[in-house]
Amino acid sequence: MYTLVIVDDEPLVRLALHRMIDWPSLGIRVVGEAGDGEEALGLLLAMGGADLLLVDIEMPRMGGIELLRRCAEEAALSRRPLPIVLSAYGNYAYVREAFVLGAFDYIVKADMDEEHILPVMRKALSALAGTATASGTARREASDDENQRQQREDWLRWLLTTDPEQAKGDFEQLLSEGTLWTSNLSVAVLQLADAANEAERQGFVRQTVESVLVSAGACHSVCRMGDGAYALLFSFPEDRSSAGLREKLHALLMTVMARLASYANVETAIGISGQGQGVKQWHRMYAQAQRLAELRYYEGYGKLLSHDAYGSLIATGEERDGSWQERASGSREAVMRALKHADGAAWASPFRQLRQTLAASKAQRPAATQAFLVDMLWELGSFLYARGRRWEELGAGYSEPSDVIRPCKTLEEALLAVERIVAGIYAIVNESASKPGARYSEPIAFAKSWLDAHYREEINQSRVSELAGVSESYLSKQFAKEVGSNFLHYLTTLRIEEAKRLLGQGVRIADVSERVGYANPEHFSRLFKRMTGLSPKGYRKDQFEQA
């Protein structure tokens, strides 16, 4: 398969060139990309050259013309790439100079689409192949390259997933052959957030990873493990400092993560093992990196989850705190009891406690936390059925609790989904009892119930509409229509009524302000007087005099 390096200082242009053309169908593999000529030259020297070079003319540090000149002079390039230049309309003088330096063809950037790029690339391939026979040989070589890559990946998967103690003979042979790196080793597991669409992104993900690592001259291999996971194997034989090795590895992986996020909107999390020496350590390091990558469920995506930062947490695993489930179960039972309470805020406090308990249970495997939440939903379903109601009234569109929890990529997503269901159940069970004959639509019932439970917190209408599954404008109009009060007025009324109760108990005005959701006591006092006709101090005095 022919190799191609893309060089342009605009990341969006590089991304467009990646995505616009089905390179493998042409027998081309994009092996690297660079943002200027200096970076590209370093990449080419590290690889010993390439077959094709798609290069912009005007770039910072080193432009395309200077890059072509250096490629022509550089004796270390075993394969001098066939250059195709990208040109703006006003660059014809540069294009002429590029042809003098060996450019094969040029593409005007204004015409940079599949229709204009494909003929140029096919012509370049014909020039590389020379004859039909040579072209057939190239295709066979491309097929051989792909087969060799697949065989190597199969072998790497075996290496990473096989316990050396269970296959001593095979590992002894590897040691005797000396065909694999053995010093200053590390493994990273890169996990895509959207594993369902991995097939269409696989080529771009792999190429982005390879581009960064090859550009840095890192000794590495990339192996797709399935379910949106990639194992990255590293060796740094020249590094003597463990701290320096860690710093170098983290910088490379941060760059990989940033490029995938910026160029392709691909969210990732990366687990990074500790260091190891010897071929028998690959299995242990992979298991370690894989376990660290699981922490994305608690920590979220866009993070490096390294052994240095989290190693002590996963080392003890579930033995670290066996009481988490007992505490979480206590909060769950409190939520269930509160659903029977007429006070719509009653379930919010135990749910917050549940959230805190689960968020602190990072030592547990995500599957244990997910199973706990599924059990909670089954219990909520039983609560609903016992009152003659059905899941369908929640409008959630699922057949069983696992359908709610399984798609959630993080604990935060799962808790939001459960919280929405709890609020919906409270609305269904209590609304008809509190207002006979008045039934709210599902999103308004949810929003009202959610406000009843969370009015003491910082709230904005945008977040509530998102949780309710409707637009902000729809929630605003429909809430006023069904409840008889607009969203803000209803929220303010809840807060002022609670403030009255607290003032009557003798709570300090500044504390009352904070406890009902107002950080600024002066703003609270003005609002209280507008709603009641009295200042908080005046209201308290009036209450005491009446008593």
The pLDDT tens digits for 343-381 are: 666 788 899 899 999 998 888 889 999 999 999 998 888
**In the block, which residue shows the tokens 């429909």?**
478
The domain boundary, picked from 484, 505, 528, lies at: 484
Name the pLDDT band for 56 (thresholds 50, 70, 90).
very high
Name the pLDDT band for 290 (thresholds 50, 70, 90).
very high
Better-scored residue on pLDDT, 152 or 536:
536
For residues 285 and 425, membership in a common domain is answered with: no
Domain-located, residue 45: yes
Q: What is the SS3 assignment for 344?
A: coil
For residues 525 and 440, membership in a common domain is answered with: no
For residues 182 and 301, membership in a common domain is answered with: yes
Name the pLDDT band for 111 (thresholds 50, 70, 90).
confident
For residues 63 and 118, membership in a common domain is answered with: yes
For residues 364 and 250, membership in a common domain is answered with: no
For residues 161 and 269, membership in a common domain is answered with: yes
Domain-located, residue 343: yes
Q: Is the pLDDT of residue 142 over 60?
A: no
Residue closest to 208 by CA, chosen among 166, 245, 253, 147: 253
The domain boundary, picked from 316, 337, 367, lies at: 316
Q: Taking residues 42-47, report their average pLDDT.
A: 85
Q: Domain range for residue 309?
A: 153-167+176-316
pLDDT digits (tens, 9 = 90+) for 187-218: 999 999 987 776 666 777 877 787 788 767 78
Instruction: Quote the CA–CA distance of 33 and 54 in Å, as a whole number.
Output: 9
For residues 474 and 334, membership in a common domain is answered with: yes
Q: Is the dihedral of CA 12, 15, 17, 20 positive or negative?
A: negative
For residues 271 and 341, membership in a common domain is answered with: no
Domain-located, residue 299: yes
Domain-located, residue 399: yes
Q: Assign residue 229 the CATH number of its domain.
A: 3.30.70.270
Q: Assign residue 55 the CATH number of its domain.
A: 3.40.50.2300
Within 10 angstroms of residue 446's Cβ, the number of other Cβ atoms is 27
CB 263 within 8 A of CB 15: yes
For residues 404 and 513, membership in a common domain is answered with: no
For residues 333 and 453, membership in a common domain is answered with: yes
Q: Where are the beta strands (DSSP E) in 440-502?
A: none
Q: Where are the beta strands (DSSP E) in 121-184?
A: none
Instruction: Quote the CA–CA distance of 268 and 516 in Å, as a whole number.
Output: 38
Domain-located, residue 140: no
Q: What is the pLDDT of residue 398?
A: 60
The reply to whether the predicted model has a pTM over 0.85 is: no
Q: Is the pLDDT of residue 131 over 70?
A: no
Q: How far is CA 85 from CA 17, 64, 109, 381, 456, in A?
A: 13, 8, 10, 64, 62
How many domains, the chain? 4
Instruction: Quote the CA–CA distance of 15 and 26 in Å, as a whole number.
Output: 18
For residues 87 and 6, membership in a common domain is answered with: yes
Residue closest to 447 by CA, chosen among 459, 438, 437, 432: 459
Q: What is the pLDDT of residue 91?
A: 61
Domain-located, residue 419: yes
Domain-located, residue 137: no
For residues 330 and 443, membership in a common domain is answered with: yes
Better-scored residue on pLDDT, 372 or 144:
372
For the ranges 76-90, 100-114, 503-517, the one whose mean pLDDT is highest: 503-517
Domain-located, residue 136: no
Better-scored residue on pLDDT, 424 or 354:
354
Q: Is 108 left (phi over 0), alpha (psi -120 to 50) or beta?
A: beta
Least confident of 107-116, 133-142, 217-226: 133-142
Report the chain's mean pLDDT, rounded to a whole number.
Answer: 83
pLDDT digits (tens, 9 = 90+) for 235-261: 888 877 888 889 999 999 999 998 888
